[in-house]
Amino acid sequence: MDDTNQQNNMEEINEQITGFWAYLTGQELWFTIGTGFLRVIIILILALTIVRVTRSLVDRLFKKRGKGRIRITERRENTLKKLIKNVIAYVVYFIAFIMILDNVLGFNVGALLAGAGVAGLAIGFGAQNLVRDIISGFFIIFEDQFSVGDYVAVGGIEGTVEEIGLRTTKVLSWTGEMNILPNGNVTQVTNYSVHNGLSIVDVNIPYESNVNDAERAIEKIVEELPQKYEFIVGIPEVIGVQNLEVSHFVIRVIADTLPGFQWAGERNIRKEIQNELYNAGIKIPAPRIVMYTGDEREKLLEKKQEREQE
């Protein structure tokens, strides 16, 4: 009996191995795999094609929009274009993923989505920061707080906005670092690209020079600056004497510049004024130290006492 049972078990194992091998080498399995693989490729190709076509349509739409009566600024246009393209890509790829699960892998998508909805509700209570980031990103775009290409100071970081998403914002620092900020952390924004900038330049003039002569020389210099530098808007204004220091007085010059060019304006105004004043014989004042010997000090103290007694 034992030998018969063992022989039957061996035969059953051999039959299972033979059946499994026949299944692996059969045409039906490979036909199913090939068909499923082909469906995945077709779905991915369709998704990529739809994304590219919609992106080109978005570009054309904004070009036609720019020629119409209702126009938006270039900075806001770049922001909206990138956001719309990203949203379309997310939606198309998500639909493609669902189609692969349903048509290729045979999952019950309805039950899967229902379970995902319940799980998403549970996760949502713990993902408050994610919800806050998305809501903040929506209001950043809706209120046009800043746009792609703007130079901003936000969250302790200063730089150029490279991309605005619903969850994060990318800011490129002038030293090359790419900073990624959650939109929920954007609580205060300083945008340097909305209105014209103001360059403020203080020029130190030694007391040996005449105030009127120095002002006339500076006014002659600044009249030519708008022709040399396109980012300087209008002729800079010489305000006059701003401060009286120990060894010099200070003449202040202000100039309107294009948005974001106030620092470049200050650098170039200083350079031009310094060169011209040097050529006119007006030198930069230097600190002065007056030294007295012991005898001279006593004589000065005696004279001071005599004046006080008088």
Q: Report CA 262 to chain centroid distance, whole Å.
A: 19
Q: Using one digit for the tens of pLDDT, what is the confidence trace for 248-263?
A: 888 999 999 988 888 8
Tokens standing for residue 245:
């220091």
What is the mean predicted confidence (pLDDT) over 93-118? 68
Q: Whole-angstrom Cα distance, residue 42 to residue 56?
A: 21
Tokens standing for residue 125:
């209570």
Q: Whole-angstrom Cα distance, residue 179 to residue 44?
A: 32
164 backbone φψ class: left, alpha, beta (φ>0; ψ -120 to 50): beta
Q: Are residue 50 and residue 90 in the same domain, yes or no?
A: yes
Q: Whole-angstrom Cα distance, residue 195 to residue 49?
A: 41
Strand order in the sheet with 168-173: 178-182, 168-173, 157-164, 151-154, 189-191
Q: Are residue 206 and residue 156 in the same domain, yes or no?
A: no
Tokens standing for residue 275:
């060169």
Q: Are 24 and 33 in contact (CB under 8 A)?
A: no
Report the pLDDT value the prediction gives residue 23, as an integer from 0 to 100. Answer: 55
Q: Could you tell me the pLDDT band of residue 174, with boundaries at 50, 70 and 90?
A: confident
Report the pLDDT value the prediction gives residue 290, as an integer from 0 to 100. Answer: 64
Classify residue 81 by its DSSP letter: H
Q: Is the model more confident about 256 or about 140?
A: 256
Report the pLDDT value the prediction gives residue 254, as an integer from 0 to 100. Answer: 92
What is the mean predicted confidence (pLDDT) over 205-229? 86
Report the pLDDT value the prediction gives residue 6, as an integer from 0 to 100. Answer: 61
Would you give the end-to-end CA distance of the chain in angstroms?
143
Q: Whole-angstrom Cα distance, residue 62 to residue 81?
A: 8
Q: Are 292 and 300 in contact (CB under 8 A)?
A: yes
Q: Are residue 65 and residue 149 in the same domain, yes or no?
A: no
Q: Are residue 12 and residue 116 in the same domain, yes or no?
A: yes
Q: Are residue 114 and residue 137 in the same domain, yes or no?
A: no
Report the pLDDT value the prediction gives residue 255, as an integer from 0 to 100. Answer: 92
Q: Is the pTM of this model over 0.75?
A: no
- Asked, for residue 296, whether it belongs to a domain, the answer is no
Helix (H), strand (E) counts: the chain: 9, 8
pLDDT at 159 over 60: yes
pLDDT at 193 over 80: yes
Report the pLDDT value the prediction gives residue 252, as an integer from 0 to 100. Answer: 92
Report the pLDDT value the prediction gives residue 27, as an integer from 0 to 100. Answer: 61
Q: Are residue 12 and residue 113 in the same domain, yes or no?
A: yes
pLDDT at 104 over 70: no
Q: Are residue 108 and residue 138 in the same domain, yes or no?
A: no
- Asked, for residue 289, whether it belongs to a domain, the answer is no
Which CATH number belongs to the domain containing residue 230 in this structure? Answer: 3.30.70.100
Q: Are 162 and 179 in contact (CB under 8 A)?
A: no
Q: Is the model more confident about 21 or about 95?
A: 95
What is the mean predicted confidence (pLDDT) over 193-200? 86
Buried b (16+ CB within 10 A) or exposed e, 12-25: eeeeeeeeeeeeee
The residue segments making up the domain with residue 62 are: 6-126
Strands 168-173, 151-154: pairing is unpaired
pLDDT at 67 over 80: no
Which CATH number belongs to the domain containing residue 112 in this structure? Answer: 1.10.287.1260
DSSP assignment string, 101-159: IIIIS---HHHHHHHHHHHHHHHHHH-HHHHHHHHHHHHHHHTTS--TT-EEEETTEEE
